[in-house]
Chain A
Amino acid sequence: MIIPSKSAKEKNRRITRRSLMLGGIQLAVVGVLGVRMRQLQVTQSDSYRLLAEENRINVQLIPPDRGLIFDRLGKPIAENKPNYRIVLIREQAQDPANVLAELAKIIDFPEDKQADVLKKMKRNSAFVKIPVVENLDWSDFARISANAPALPGIIPEVGLNRNYPQPEDFTHVVGYVGPVSDRDLSGLENPEPILQFPGFQYGKTGLEVKIEDTLRGTAGTSQVEVNSSGRVIRELSRKDAVNGADIQLTLDSDLQHYASYRMGDQSAAAVVMDVHSGNIRALASSPSFDPNKFIFGISTTDWNGLLNNEYRPLADKTISGAYPPGSTFKMVVALAALEEGLVDAEEEIFCPGHFDLGNRRFHCWKRGGHGRMNLSDSLKESCDVFYYEISQRIGIEKITAMAKRFGLGARPDLPLPAITGGLMPTKQWKQTNYNEAWRKGDTINSAIGQGFVLSSPVQLAIMTARLASGRAITPRLIQRINGVPTPLEYADPLGISDADFALVREGMFRVNNETRGTAYATRIAETTMAMAGKTGTSQVRQISLAERATGVIKNEDLPWEHRDHALFVGYAPYDKPRFAISVVVEHGGSGSAAAAPIARDIMLRALYETQPPISAFPREIRDEMLEQRQNEPPPNVVAPTPRSDRA
């Protein structure tokens, strides 16, 4: 048995005494709480209940107007238009099903839609406004308003809705808005209450989602006194909403429209960029779709149609499509070799049509070979063997380092979601990702922009702008926010010698402007506007030895998804560059036949800012071009706002 010391006893006695004191104090506090409770809940209960019943203070949100989006000349790309709609509050309706049935007698309102509204109502609290019909025309809206007393709980409202007056042209860049979804909310740390506002619209894709916070603005509040039936007695105070910022883009509506039109139904992308400022004039991905269909939620049929289309209309190919750049990559390889002094302007390399490395044979696109080629010739005729040879001298690390200086392999800084950085491989990269050593054959494939090398159309445009200007141009999409110009930074020179640039640019000039140049057929005949460029045709399949033996299958005979990608990059005018362009036609066949003509037409449109004179085309194709023009639409006029279908 433990015998406690005297001190321990003393300790415990003190604890006991103090505990009782403390208990007493606490009891007193509890007493005070009890008295206060009684005072509030029993004595003064009636007056408080009156306050709760008769005189509720209600805070109503005032939604801000979403910022508008304009093109570089101020033409509207995304605007807001009045939306006449009706909403329903369950607790005021008593019998919502009956009210909706009454409503169907006044306007066309089918039963399945009534069921949708009732379903939505069940998921929300009784006092939440549920959108019933959006985008009513004025006469329906007026009729409902007149009948409002017979429709308890139905409230006619005028709101603003997003509208895209140039459907299809800007779908990918600007994106679209839609009703706020639970997924949108779950991604936000602290969602603003306005997002719960019925029918409030939130950016879903493109700029609309990327700069959502800038476009949305801040909700205002109106504090009103309401009586027990919810009628507003008076407004107590008001804080106006701050509207979203208006955005002016660098894009040109007319050029963007023309680019979309020119690509037609093909799966393609085109980018036009100012070589000095980096301003993007056109950023078009094809095929496109009408973003207005998404605003009130798209129908399942339409959605599945877009989703299952093998041309992937939902993707923005300009920024998220990663393609092997093919021969358009050769300028980078050439500059890497020139800078290292591993090749010069004079050296000639013999192309027999193939290049042997160990027991592997790499083929030039031209079966019989090009014969003797110097660097400038190799660009003009796009000789592959020349690049196989010099790539062995440089090695992959130097090639990739040069590519990075041209913006390849790095994600361009644009306010858009889902931007790919493409891929510029290194030995280390292959070791990490494939757990295999880098092989010489990999370098050979990379030298002609195949193998692991991937880039997006916008990256190729940046590369071309840098080739033309010699400076580290970066893309710019937003010109002004609320009228305030966004900063335009001076781009630093790339640090490549003028002689090296001159040589490569000359090669690019010859591609378009000399016979046997791969894009000679699509040259610009007007000499002050002459274009320099480079075609690219990138394989998406392996050509087997057996196929080589029997003859390579022509693109036209292959299924679409096995055909080569067609690419073209270029800039113009040659002596005073203004614009760089890149065009990629997915599985389009050859770069000279499928991509170069599109690039030439879009470039001419950019240079002349209207339909170019027929003299800009080479004599031999003028008749053909004139015929083509018969079918061409007139210059883009912003169409009057179409009325969308009811939601």
Chain B
Amino acid sequence: MSFMDPNANLPPTGLKKILYVNWPLVLLIFAVSGFGFLMLYSVAGGSFTPWARPQMERFAIGIVIMFIVGFTPISFWRSITALTYGVGMLLLVFVLIAGDINKGAQRWIDLGFINLQPSEVMKIAVVMVLALYYDWLPPEKVSRPVWVFIPLVLILSPAAFVFFQPDLGTAILIILSGGVVMFLAGVSLWYFSAALSAVAAIVLAIFQSRGTGWQLLNDYQYRRIDTFLDPSLDPLGASYHITQASIALGSGGVSGRGFMQGTQSRLGFLPEKQTDFIFTTLAEEFGYVGTTLLLVMYVLIMVFCISSALNNRNRYAALLTGGIAATFFFFFAVNMAMVMGLVPVVGVPLPLVSYGGSAMLVLLGAFGLVQSAHIHRPQGVL
């Protein structure tokens, strides 16, 4: 094997790349997505339309993209990182202006076969650009204020655009994923404690400003927070979603009601049953067993990504893999916490399971980057 191969220390080329693919990760992605197709089939009342079939088609496209991205050398992706980030920013500005012109919120660009949301692309582009930045920056400088300021700008400017779309959930995700790359790169923990204190101060300000002239959030956003803190305030109004979601989750019990037997979603009690709240249907139909299984699969995806990052001596590749893994983590953790009533409803889909083409394609593209980093990692003992 590798000790007999004189080129073992160099990244593989040609068809040999297939051997170096992170196959367990691929299998897990198929398993989780398959779970998703089942759920979409079920919430449509036992039909491939309108959700399961398009989702499967997009998944097929996404898998192809994943392998194409994966087989392309990571050095190439590194070389177009800045460009990707720049184009992503331009698209964000574009949708903001286009939304202005159409007098309404616009978040996507119609590409014909799919509506591309620049904010989805930006989540990954931010991770890429920060990985590039910390690859370039000598480690002893990472905690100097000026070198901390630059990545903050790189993170906060797209986050601001997304926030004004308005899409609070995605803006928070961009900030969190960017923050994770900074964390992995070794920025001093003092900065993170400072940032946490600042967030706490802002939260306080948000609550204090309520009802005054300088109110910081929209009324509907305050209502969401209220009902999150106390769902019984208004069982038929704004907290209807959370109450119904909890009923669906809880009524599943340990073993669930069985595939296609969930009454909550079938009777139309669940909101956005095919997108953000699909986890509740899963919980209702497959019970505690099903939800735990999904959670375990998610954790395994994380584990395979993180171990790939740890074994990668290319700093760019390692930071990128770690950052993408963290982004993935935030997706499913926030979504699950949201439907289980642990955090306010912010509109984050369940990765690989929720219906939605843009998110699916971007996520599979990101896993392609993880594969590329994995396949082309420098090998051997140093």
Question: Which residue numbers of A lie inside 8 Å of B, CB to CB?
Answer: 1-4, 7-8, 10-12, 14-16, 18-19, 21-23, 26-27, 29-30, 32-34, 36-38, 40-42, 44-49, 51-53, 56-57, 125, 127, 223, 236-237
Contacts and interface: CB of A to CB of B under 8 A. Distances in A.
B333 interface: yes
A8 B337 CA distance: 38
A347 B183 CA distance: 96
Given A30-B333, A48-B246, A56-B267, A14 B253 contact: no
B191 to A, nearest CB: 13
A607 B138 CA distance: 95
B250 A57 contact: no
Majority SS of interface residues in chain B? helix
B223 interface: no
A625 B58 CA distance: 74
Given A10-B139, A42-B288, A52-B247, A15 B318 contact: yes
A49 B253 contact: yes
Given A33-B295, A45-B250, A56-B267, A15 B185 contact: yes
B315 interface: yes
Given A2-B378, A48-B249, A48-B251, 12 more contacts: A7-B139, A15-B184, A15-B309, A15-B315, A19-B322, A30-B298, A33-B333, A34-B295, A36-B340, A36-B342, A40-B246, A40-B283
15 contacts: A1-B9, A4-B313, A15-B184, A18-B186, A19-B309, A22-B322, A26-B326, A30-B298, A32-B342, A33-B336, A34-B292, A49-B251, A53-B263, A57-B236, A237-B236
A22 B326 contact: yes
A41 B326 contact: no
Interface in B269-306: 269, 283, 287-288, 291-292, 295, 298-299, 302, 306
A44 B250 contact: yes
A4 B139 contact: no
B306 A23 contact: yes
A238 B380 CA distance: 71
Given A10-B139, A48-B249, A40 B340 contact: yes
Contacts of A4: 313, 382
B319 interface: yes
Contacts of A3: 382
A82 to B, nearest CB: 28
Interface in B165-193: 180, 183-186
Majority SS of interface residues in chain A? helix
Given A2-B378, A41-B283, A19 B269 contact: no
Given A2-B378, A32-B342, A8 B292 contact: no
Nearest to B334: A29
A42 B184 contact: no
A56 B333 CA distance: 29
B360 interface: no
A37 B269 contact: no
A19 B130 CA distance: 16
B236 A236 contact: yes
B45 interface: yes
B313 A40 contact: no
Given A29-B333, A30-B333, A125-B45, A15 B319 contact: yes
B254 A41 contact: yes
Nearest to A51: B247
Contacts of B382: 2-4
A44 B184 CA distance: 39
B269 A41 contact: no
B248 interface: yes
Contacts of B322: 15, 19, 22
A18 B251 CA distance: 40
B327 to A, nearest CB: 12
Contacts of B336: 33, 37
Nearest to A3: B382
Interface string B112-145: 0000000000000000000000000011100000
Contacts of A56: 267, 269
Contacts of B158: none
Nearest to B294: A37
B252 interface: yes
Contacts of A223: 236
B288 A38 contact: yes
B346 to A, nearest CB: 16
B266 interface: yes
